[in-house]
Each structure stands twice: as C-alpha cells, then as structure tokens.
Structure 1
C-alpha cells in the first residue's frame, strides 16, 4: 500500500475510537466514519508498521443502522464520533468496546465475565452540563468552540446537539461580550489573554458557574456586570491563570471574580456544593443511573468501613454514607477536599473523614493507625489507577470493591492485577456520553476465597 492509494474495503468491526476496521491484503485499515458491515471505497492517509489509516470516500454498501447525523458540523468538530450510528446500536457498540479491551489485556477469566447490556438514555441530546470552550479571534470577532481532532483549528459551537442549551446560550453571549469589550484573546504566537471559558450548569438547581482561563491579568468587571444582569442563574464567576504553553487547560491559581464560591447540585436523594474547579460527571441525568448501579454493586451495611478513593467533592461516597459505619475519602485537589468536608457537614454526616493527598500514602498510614476497610470504591480519571495505588489496594485488599471506570482500556489493564485477588462478579456499562466512542462502566469485585 501507498499513501493516497484508493482501495475497496469491507468493514469487519468498529474500533475503540468509533472508526470502521477492515483488512486489505492482511493489513488492518482504520476508516473514521465507516460502520460495521459496510463496503466502502477509501484513500490511505498514513501507513504505520502494522496498520494503515484511511479517509472514507464512498459507501458502496450501506449499513442498515446508518443514520443521517442531525448536526451540521458533526464531521468538522470531531467531539462526537458515532452520531451516524443508530442509538440502540451505539449501546451495543459500547458493550463491544468492553469486550475488545478485555480481549486485548486478558485479565484472568475474562471470557466468563458477565457483561450487562449498556444502560442508555431515552433522549440522548443536550445532556452535557459542562464544557470547556476554547476561544479564538477571527477578523475581530471572538468565537468559542472546540478544536477539530488532531489540530488547532477552532470549530465554532453555537448550537451543539449534546451541550446543555442554557450553557450554550450563555457561552454564545460571552463570545459577543468578549468582542464588544475588546478583551485580548490568547494566540499561541504572540497574544496573552483569554484562552478558555468553562461553563457548568447544575441540573437540579439550574445554577450556573463560569471560569475564564487566561494567560494574563485582565479587567472583566464590565463583562461580568452585563453577563450577570442578563443571566440571573449565573451564581459564580471565577478566573484561572494558565501562563504555560502546555496543553493543560487550567493553571494552579483560581480566584473568585464575582458571586458565590460554589453552586448547588444534587443526585439521588442528596445535594452538594461544587466549587469551580471541582470534578463532577458531565451528564447529570445519567449520573443518577451510574450512582444507583454503584450502590447496587457495593452491597454494604451499617457495621462496615468504606474508603472512597479519588473522592473529589464526595459525591459518589455520599450515596453510601448513611449505609456504613464510617466513610473515608481522599483526593489530591485540596479545594475538592474542602468541598467534601463542607458537603458532609451540611448533610449532617458525623461518620465521614476526608484528607488531601495521595491514596497510596494515606491508606497505609490509616492502616498503621489501626483503621481497617471492609469495602472500597474507586472512580479514577481516564488514566486508570495509579500504579502505587493499585499496589496498595492489592496489599490491603478490602473484602469488596467497586471500580467506576470512564476508560475501558485502562479498566481492562487494571483488572489484570485486580483479578489476581478479586473475582469480577459483573461489569455494567452506562452510556454517559451518547454519540461518542466513550462509555462508563461499574465493576463489582469480591475478594477471592482462599
């Protein structure tokens, strides 16, 4: 094969990024936009040692599950990858993602794992309650949106089909006000200014918070005045300073510009505060489903002690607080721990304890002090469990555990080690991100009997 060569291809399956995969003369070929079962004509765009990538040119035989993506910028944006696949088949694909990852990493006994059908949404649109919009200036006008895949080309988002409508309306107005007040907008070559606008809306209360991420100090006073007058639902506006040229969205320093330190959100039967930098799931509606599944999987009682690693502001742990004797959590972000403590106090919990720091440091100290955990819940970032934390879990091995994952590959990788000590009872996938190639999963683990 050569780059720019045009080839016919039968698509045998879909890959972890939602692309179609076929074989041409025994070489794997990845084709974004192609669906399983389709016969396509494509053009090779790059060649690697053991696979090729190609651009879809023509579909000769269409999948019966292909639909017209209802988004005008779907292909340009890249934020969603499988909107052209009928939604019920998206759920099947996400179950298959789990199976592919397990087959690749092959944790002990994976062929016999119970993988439950993916739990989806009745209305899989406008679900995303938080988004970091990048800002750039074009011909004097500020635009807000996302970078196209593998590029620094900004695709403007004005009516995103997966973004909460209210937050979209606010960001559209923010872009207009940034233009009107001529605030400097960051440019990678020479200009210091606003890089990103984060907006989040609490589904339960309707309260909104904003973070302006900037590479220099700016005067937002007039913009904030206009914005808060027009949108009374905005309760918090903060500024974060990111002066490095790295791809990290946030810098270390965050200051409150206007309003409250936090907004109020709720899930299941409890409410909690979210400060601007605090982590919370992007899809509040499906978070209800996710946390319900975690509750069901980790069957605890009032005599037991529970550790919530990667606890954040405490959200998932609070679902268990009334059911256990004690709940302890940790997180590396001090502001999140402060939120967790405040939230626990407000809810009247006297059996919770939170510390800022790394779990692999804190847990051994607790055990030296005489503490023993009966159960553990982990909800790590996409990178999965830290190696040192994984070693700590295997060393102390509570009798039962729930692993909440947002990345099937790192989950399967971590299960290689966890399955040495734990039986995987089942894996329940939950569609937190409709129209994307990502899924969340809840794994029920029980310590092996000797």
Structure 2
C-alpha cells in the first residue's frame, strides 16, 4: 500500500519547529513527515514553502516568522545563509557553542557510551577568522564574478565580504577580481568545460601578515599574465607569493597537481605557538590560528606526558602538532602520506632548530608497523584525521601497538564516536571529559579533543 506524502512541492504550510539538525536546519513535522528548513530555530512558528519532496522527508524555505526564538540572532545577512558560508549565523553565538557541545553529547548517548563533554571553547570575536580562502570564479550577467555557491547547487552568488574570512583576504580577492576583469580573462564554464580561471585561493599569515595568491586555472597559459602579476603586486601589500595551479580536469576537485611559480617564493611564513612554519599552496594548515593554538595546547596538556616519553604524530601534515609537542617530551615520530607535506615538516623542524623529531612519508598504519618492528614503544599516539576519521586498519595497528594514550583531535563527532567504539575493543577508555573547541564559528563544524587511555 502506497503511503500518501502529506506535503506538496511549492505549497505553503504553517509549522512549528521542534529540533535543529547537525547541519543547522530547523525540523518541523506534518503528520510525522519531516521538513528541513534553513534559518529556523526550535520553538519558532513559521509560514514555510516546501521546495523539495523526497520519499521520507522534504525541504522548505522560510516565508514568514510568526514568533521568534530568544536564541535567534537578528543581525543576519541572507546570502551567508543561502550559500552555507555561515549556516548558524541566525543562532546567537553562546547558543552555537551549546549546539556543538550537544552534538557530541547526543552522538555518544545514542551509541550508549557514557562520557562527559565540557562546554565548547569559543572565540571573543567569532567572525573574520579564516586565514585561507578558495573562491570560485564564474561569469554572471556577462561579467567575471567571485562569490560562493548557493547551498546544494553550483549557482554562484556574488559576494565581496565573506564574513568569516580575514578582511585582508577579502580585499585581495577583490583586487585580483578587478584586474582579471580589466584584462578580460575568461572565467571557467563548468557546463562546457571552457574558460581560463577556475578559482582564486588566498592564504594570509595571522602573525606575519604575509600573503600568498593562488590562481587556479583550467589552461596552462593565462593571457597577459606578466601585466596581471605586475598590477597585483603594485596594488597589494605583503604579497610574498603568487602561484598558478593548473587543473585541467572536468571535476569538482579544486587543485590540480602542477604548480607554476609566478612571483616571489613557493611559501609564506606564519607562527603557531611561538614556532615558525613555511606554508605552501597545498599545505594542510588549520584555518583558524587563534583557536588552533588553544586546540593544540590543550591536546598536549591533556596528554600529560613528560621528558621521558616518546610519541607518534599520525597524519602529521607540515609538522604543526609534532613540533609543538617536541619541547615537552623526549622524541616525536611524525608520519604523513603526502610527500610534499613531509618535506615542509622537515624544513619546519630545521627553521625552528628542533632535532628530536623524525618525519617519514608513508601510510600511517604501515609506518607504525615498521616502527614497532624496530622496537618503538610510544607513550602516546596523536591523531588529527580528516572528516572520514581513522581507517580501520590504522585502529587495528595502533591497538596492537598499545600505547598508554591515544590523543584524538576530531573534526567530525560522528566518526569520532564510530572510532571510539573500535578503540574500546582494544581496551581503551575515555576517562577525561571531551573538550570541544570552536574552530569554525558560524558553521555547524566542531573540533574536539578526546584522550583514550589503556
């Protein structure tokens, strides 16, 4: 028997919002059928329009609020909500921090794992914090524009102030945009896979102010490139590096494999916890330096290691955690699959005169086996994996190595919970409360530190 769906596309409904999803969407129900609505909060009554209907749920957009939640932030710019740049912008910041703490608590409770979760550590100014931008370039109404995609689409909304980015980065993007317009450089057309410029990428050192500009292109050549570079350098202060990244593939992947240095050097410098780091175009470097210093300091403190201990930093990247940890313990072993990142890490160790760190390019699970065969018995393993979490093979290998502690820096609570269950099979327990840190204010993402003890 076919179940009748109680809502229709393009129809308006009066609803009461009862929940907020992990994606920051309000949840309402009509005859137990869920409707997910952006820019709504629990407790609010609203007139909404259903925009998409699926078999088991639907999406809607807000037409009119009948009553407002006391948690609502009124000073909201719709384009940030539309694009997903700041999907929690309509929620007052103190409630954003509570939302992130609750996310972690709820997931552990669902998994029937009894853990304590501390209050989320926030920022004094939860805007304009990002030190890196990757901005699409497209043609809108016959003109080259920079902006961001509308949620769940590839329709570009032109934006000049990105709200969560370093304002200097926003200024640089506009300067580059205007120069590209002046020389009639053709933006990428993803439907026909034509055009020249795909994205503009900008990095800025939080402490040094040094700027790197990446021009991501479909083509090997950029018309008038010498004149373009000359104008960019004349009009922007602190630019130390301009790099062309060539990505000829018809895909959503932003960066290609080939870089061409157009001006200056291949990297910029910045500081983190008093150490200097060289950051290249493709380096993984945390985007919120203020919160990263809190995150790493807490991770090291919660590990409770001393000068007799050794540790492995899996997924070590350019060595930010390894080198921050090095002065607190006897020796650090860093492993990372990306060769370029390991070259950067070795260079960063030399710059900072740190000699008790060894970096190796390899898969973490494979390298740990090699170190174990050589008799290495670390006191702790630090992991800071991507959103997909730890590979099961890594957990098996780390579990057999049996360090006393595994310090897990997570950017995805759901994979953290999944991995926690697996680690517990190897005799690990969470004895300390989990500490969330708000690395990405105005968004639904949350970082956290969990210490697993044998």
TM range (shorter): over 0.9
Of stretches 185-194 and 70-79 in structure 1, the one that deviates more from structure 2 is 70-79
Aligned to 2:31: 25
Deviation at 1:100, TM superposition (A): 2.8
TM-score (ref. length: structure 2): 0.93
Aligned to 2:372: 367
Q: In the alignment, is the contact (CA less than 8 A) between 2:335 and 2:364 conserved in 1?
A: yes
Q: In the alignment, is the contact (CA less than 8 A) between 1:334 and 1:356 conserved in 2?
A: yes
Aligned to 1:287: 292
Aligned to 1:68: 74
Deviation at 1:353, TM superposition (A): 0.8
Deviation at 1:241, TM superposition (A): 1.4
Q: In the alignment, is the contact (CA less than 8 A) between 1:15 and 1:97 conserved in 2?
A: no
C-alpha separation in 1, matches of 2:76 and 2:152: 23
Identify the match of residue 407 of structure 2 among 398, 402, 405: 402
Residue 443, structure 1, aligned to residue 450, structure 2:
yes
Alignment of 1:22-101 (within 5 A): 22-71=28-77, 73-101=79-107
Deviation at 1:17, TM superposition (A): 0.5
C-alpha separation in 1, matches of 2:398 and 2:198: 39
Q: Where does structure 2 lack aligned partners over 5 or more consecutive residues?
A: 1-5
CA offsets 1:91-134 (integer angstroms, 9 cap, x no match): 11111111233244x1xx52x31100001111111111111000
Q: Where does structure 1 lack aligned partners over 5 or more consecutive residues?
A: none
Deviation at 1:46, TM superposition (A): 3.2
C-alpha distance 72-428 of structure 1, shift in aligned 2 (>3 A): same
Aligned to 2:123: 121
CA offsets 1:350-379 (integer angstroms, 9 cap, x no match): 111111121011111111122222101111
Deviation at 1:139, TM superposition (A): 4.3
Aligned to 2:311: 306
Identify the match of residue 398 of structure 2 among 393, 397, 400: 393
C-alpha separation in 1, matches of 2:53 and 2:139: 35
Residue 416, structure 1, aligned to residue 418, structure 2:
no
Q: In the alignment, is the contact (CA less than 8 A) between 2:81 and 2:89 conserved in 1?
A: no
TM-score (ref. length: structure 1): 0.94
Aligned residues: 443
C-alpha separation in 2, matches of 1:44 and 1:232: 48
Deviation at 1:6, TM superposition (A): 3.4
Q: In the alignment, is the contact (CA less than 8 A) between 2:439 and 2:446 conserved in 1?
A: yes
C-alpha separation in 2, matches of 1:89 and 1:96: 10
C-alpha separation in 2, matches of 1:100 and 1:45: 29
Deviation at 1:137, TM superposition (A): 2.2
Q: In the alignment, is the contact (CA less than 8 A) between 2:302 and 2:451 conserved in 1?
A: yes
CA offsets 1:363-421 (integer angstroms, 9 cap, x no match): 11111122222101111111111222222222223111211111122212221212333
Deviation at 1:140, TM superposition (A): 4.4
